[in-house]
Structure 1
Amino acid sequence: MASAGPAATSRGPRQLAFLADRLPSMSAAERKITDVLTRSPDDAISMSITELADRAGVSEATISRYCRRLQFKGYQDLRIRIARELAAEEASAGGSAENGIELAASTSADLLNRTARLLDPAKVDRAADAISAARRVVCVGLGASGIAAQAAAHHLLGIGVRAESHADLHVLLGATALLDSSDVVLAFSRTGSAKDVTACVRLAHAQGATVISVTNASRSPVAKLSDIVLQVASEGTIGTLDSVLVQVFVLEILMRGCLERLGPAAELAAARVSEVIMGRLY
């Protein structure tokens, strides 16, 4: 393996100096971790500790010790620091509105194309089958991922699928506790490591419900508890809606699959829902 030193200090503006500056005093294992983080800082924000351990070839315990040695409480604090560094870099770059539009457009197109390549058509088919046949679908997502969860419930309900989403965690846990093998949980989580989302998924899994997760982290706690994992790409830049964009993209694909499977029943449901809603417009 090549020395971590040159790789970590050749990142230019994204070298994460607070890590690179500590290289001379790091052990071989710590250099491996630093090498992974500085080579792909955008990925580092969304990597779980398990994924980082795999990529660096070290144990999770070694990563925890590494974080403490750098004066962080844990791996999550380190990720937050990396995210802040990258956000500060982008903010200092400035630029016109025109540049911002071009950057957002190119980044979004790249993310969608990368996600399309990551998605396994067989898994997408299985997910659409499960959702179309489900008695109930509970859409789970908190924070930014809650936007995708609410959109999923709204659009699935619009084609006759009895879907729901809850912002209140207690209500969400209660809804999940009442699921059984005829139900589905559709979970959205960029990192796949959010404790509350993991708790809902674990509960649904124990109840025998089919768990479908949409996540960037295929080896995360949420992914490990899922029957079907739909992996998405991630830019990992703080302060953007990149994660929501790819989640809604996957939702659009699933919606097309469900419409195909439900056929006339979906069309009838959509007409009934539309009629009720249109009656509320001026």
Structure 2
Amino acid sequence: MNNDFYKQIADKYDGLTANEQLVIDFILASNKPDQLKIKDISGKLFLSSATIVRASKKLGFKSFSQLKFYVSQFVNSKEEKLETENYDKIVDRMQSDFKKTIDMLSEKKISTFVSYINSARRIFCVGSGSSVSVSNDLNRKLKLLNYWSNDYEELYSIRDISDISSDKDVIIIISLGGGNGIVNQYLLEAKSKGTKVISITGTNASSVMKLSDANLLVYESPVPRKRMRSRLMLNVAADMVFEYIINYTYEKK
């Protein structure tokens, strides 16, 4: 969403109750917010209609319908016509992206990234949007290796990281485009307390890269769409981290 809209939500999000935050998270995550109805949200979240209306008004909107309108404006402005590729072109693009990503993932960068993980008391894996699945998978693998690790994807839970983290902890943020301004604000709050932030990002995620103590960059060829992009290269980088830990760190623990 545009910066003004993000700022409006970020400024007032903390003033919402936990249930009201669930409502806003649900609306922001919807691909078709213009089709949302209060009764549908109420049924999905098991919350009252009054909670949904109150959450909208606390953010500064006159009604649920007005909030829904602003979210819909963003979604509609980002919709782009999908252009088809033939099979060979898809294969060529993915092979090229894979090679470029591997070239960018030098051993020095992987080693530095892993050093933050190994020195951390606790690890907070953060993902948003379609990158959540990558974050969840990395968190699962770290748990298998007996690291203290948890995944965070809801805004209210990401917000709380700054309240519980310290300079002995590390946040791993995974983001292809780095577009969630609210999440970035919460990361900055945690970082101001000394919590380390390391990231796996696409080349367009400059906002996340700037606040990271260590960053692994992946390559993605330009495609004529933004909302439906592959996270395969993020998975490649996360798997490289996992493999490096197993081969160079885990056996020495």
TM-score of the pair, normalised by structure 2: 0.63
Shift of 1:120: 3.5
SS for the counterpart of 1:186 is strand
Q: How far did residue 139 of structure 1 move? A: 0.7
Match of 2:179 in 1: 193
| Aligned partner letter, 1:84 | E
1:254 corresponds to 2:248: no
**CA deviation vs aligned residue, 1:106-148 (integer Å, no higher than 9, x gap):** 3322211111122243221111111122111111110111111
In the alignment, the residues of structure 2 paired with residue 133 and residue 110 of structure 1 have an alpha-carbon distance, to the nearest angstrom, of 34
* 1:222-233 correspondence to structure 2 within 5 Å: 222-233=208-219
In structure 1, distance between residues paired with 2:162 and 2:132: 16
2-side partners of 1:180 and 1:110: how far apart? 40
Distance 1:224 1:258, change over 3 A: same
What's the CA shift for 1:264?
Answer: 5.9
Q: Which amino acid aligns with 1:215?
A: T
Q: Secondary structure at the match of 1:188?
A: strand
Aligned to 2:132: 146
Give the residue type in structure 1 aligned to 2:220. S
CA shift, 1:255, in A, is 0.8
- State the TM-score, normalizing by the size of structure 1: 0.57
Quote the offset at 1:156 in angstroms: 0.6
RMSD (Å), alpha carbons: 2.7
Matches within 5 A, 1:169-184: 169-184=155-170
2:190 is aligned to 204
Question: Is residue 93 of structure 2 the alignment partner of residue 107 of structure 1?
Answer: yes
CA distance in 1, matches of 2:189, 2:201: 18
Cα distance in 1 between the residues matched to 2:176 and 2:154? 19
- Give the Cα–Cα distance (whole angstroms) in 1 for the partners of residues 97 and 233 of structure 2: 7
Structure 1: segments with no counterpart, 5+ residues: 1-75, 94-98, 266-282
CA distance in 1 between counterparts of 2:186 and 2:90 reads 33
Cα offsets for 1:22-66 (capped at 9, x unmatched): xxxxxxxxxxxxxxxxxxxxxxxxxxxxxxxxxxxxxxxxxxxxx
Taking a change above 3 Å as real, the CA distance of residues 193 and 147 of structure 1, as seen in their structure-2 partners, is: same
Q: In structure 2, what is the equivalent of residue 46 of structure 1?
A: none
Give 1:118-157 correspondences, 5 Å limit: 118-157=104-143
| Aligned residue pairs, count | 179
* Partner amino acid, structure 1, of 2:105: L
Q: Is the 8 A contact 1:197 1:222 kept in 2?
A: no
The CA deviation at 1:225 is 0.6
Per the alignment, residue 263 of structure 1 pairs with 251
> Where do residues 57-136 of structure 1 align in structure 2 (5 Å cutoff)?
84-85=80-81, 87=82, 89-90=83-84, 99-100=86-87, 102-136=88-122
Task: Name the CA distance, whole Å, in 2 between partners of 1:219 and 1:171.
Answer: 22
Partner of 2:144: 158
Local SS of the residue matching 1:138:
strand
How many Å separate the matches in 2 of 1:214 and 1:152?
11
- 1: distance between equivalents of 2:134 and 2:146? 18
**In the alignment, is the contact (CA less than 8 A) between 1:140 and 1:185 conserved in 2?**
yes
Instruction: Indicate how the Cα distance of structure 1 residues 263 and 198 shifts in structure 2: closer, same or farther if over 3 A, else same.
Output: same
Distance in 2, matches of 1:160 and 1:234, equals: 32
Q: Percent identity?
A: 21
Deviations 1:242-275 (A, max 9, x none): 2x2111111111112222212265xxxxxxxxxx
Higher radius of gyration, 1 or 2: 1
